[in-house]
Amino acid sequence: MLSIAECLSREHEVVILWPNDKKDLIVQKAAQRFSVDLSTFVFDSLFDTQISFLQRYKKSRSYDKIIFLSDGSIPVVGCPLIIHWQSPMNWVHGKSLLNRLKLKRVKDVIVNSKYTKSYIDKTFSLKSTILYPPVYIQRTYDQSKKTNTILNVGRFGINNAGSSYKKQDVLAEAFTLLSPMVKDWRLVFVMAVLDKDMKVYEDFKNKYAHLPIDFIINPSNEHLWNMYAKASIYWHASGFGEDLKKYPDRAEHFGISTVEAMGVGAVPLVVNSGGQKEIVEEGVNGYLWDSLEELVSKTQVIIRDSDKRRDLADHAVTRSKDFSIELFEESLKRIIK
């Protein structure tokens, strides 16, 4: 959404609809986490809960278009509305009479992957447009900087079902199997950890203290990209072992961190589910896996065959360019016009 705002601001006046009392926080977080500068944007609290429906409808008529990131809800506004869904949803009553009436006022629906589209289209009985998120590659691929490192990037925490959101525990178990078979290789977890999850994180870290695993929490954007640049292999497991028919949101909806890693030549080995299958082509720019044993065996192959690893890395870099900001902006302009 911030990328949409940035791109459109080059030719249009863009207002970010965000609560005024939280403006400073979002500006700070956007700069810290995504290197996005929002300081020059105008903010408007159009969707503040204190604003009545009639006030919102009247005020919204001053805009040419509104792009709304939906959590399942569909607002009623007085101008053309574009809804963006980033998560597959099958628990919303999308075909209710009220939602059908609301959707008649919607100009376009955009989604972030084929995976998300397959659920949104069915849930709401519509035809959405895929707008893959842009991925900013902030380092240049340099093979000489690569180290014997397997990297995983993602937030750390436990979901309502008691399993980890990004399946770091699954990857730690896989590395437990792999580590005795390969020498001088390390697994590095780069994780965003909230204060409320710190105790669980410490327990997780201590459990695998005997293995060559590094834990980096809440790093700066600069530090994160340094780790990407050093990594030779990228692991991702979100969705593994989950009932994705019942809980499709537990798989990776797209896979931005995978593309980031590929952009600097880290070979991806990602679970064969969700949006990851749209990014990684088996044996061309990485590998897909369905079991820990398959993850371990495929990782062994590319660790032992440096030529194969380099070839996969080159193709991974090429594939990452399909999600450039330039291509994103071209697609966005076609939707907005």
Number of domains comprising the chain: 2
Give residues with Cβ within 8 angstroms of 199, minimum separation 6.
none
Residues 79 and 211 in one domain: no
Of 100, 97, 50, 107, the C-alpha closest to 77 is: 107
Which residue, chain included where needed, has tokens 């810290």? Answer: 32
Residues 39 and 167 in one domain: no
The helix (run of H) or strand (run of E) holding residue 295 is helix 292-304
Averaged pLDDT, 64-91: 94
Residues 114 and 155 in one domain: no
Residues 118 and 229 in one domain: no
Q: How far apart are CA 213 and CA 185, in angstroms?
A: 9
159: CATH: 3.40.50.2000
Residues 65 and 122 in one domain: yes
Q: Strand ranges (DSSP E) for 112-210?
A: 129-130, 149-156, 186-193
Residues 308 and 328 in one domain: no
Give the pLDDT of residue 20: 81
Give the pLDDT of residue 160: 73
Residues 267 and 186 in one domain: yes
Residues 219 and 318 in one domain: yes
The CB density around residue 55, as the number of other CB atoms within 10 Å, is 12
Q: How far apart are CA 288 and CA 320, in angstroms?
A: 16
Residues 232 and 105 in one domain: no
pLDDT tens digit sequence for 200-254? 999 999 999 999 999 999 998 899 999 999 999 999 999 999 999 999 999 999 9
Q: How far apart are CA 89 and CA 121, in angstroms?
A: 10
pLDDT band at 37 (very low <50, low <70, confident <90, very high): confident
The amino acid at 28: Q
Averaged pLDDT, 81-86: 96
Residues 202 and 246 in one domain: yes
Work out the mean pLDDT of the chain and round it to a whole number.
Answer: 94
Contact 285, 318 (CB under 8 A): yes
Q: Which structural domain range is residue 55 located in? A: 2-134+324-336
**Percentage, residues of the chain above pLDDT 90:** 86
**Statement: residue 162 has pLDDT above 80:** no
Find the helix packing angle between 168-178 and 198-207, rounded to 10°. Answer: 10
Ranges of H-type helices in 96-184: 97-103, 114-124, 168-178
Both tokens of residue 123? 């849930």
Residues 111 and 243 in one domain: no
**Statement: residue 35 has pLDDT above 90:** no
Give residues with Cβ within 8 angstroms of 67, minimum separation 6.
1, 4, 82, 83, 84
pLDDT tens digit sequence for 91-142? 889 899 999 999 999 999 999 999 999 999 999 999 999 999 999 999 999 9
Residues 147 and 114 in one domain: no
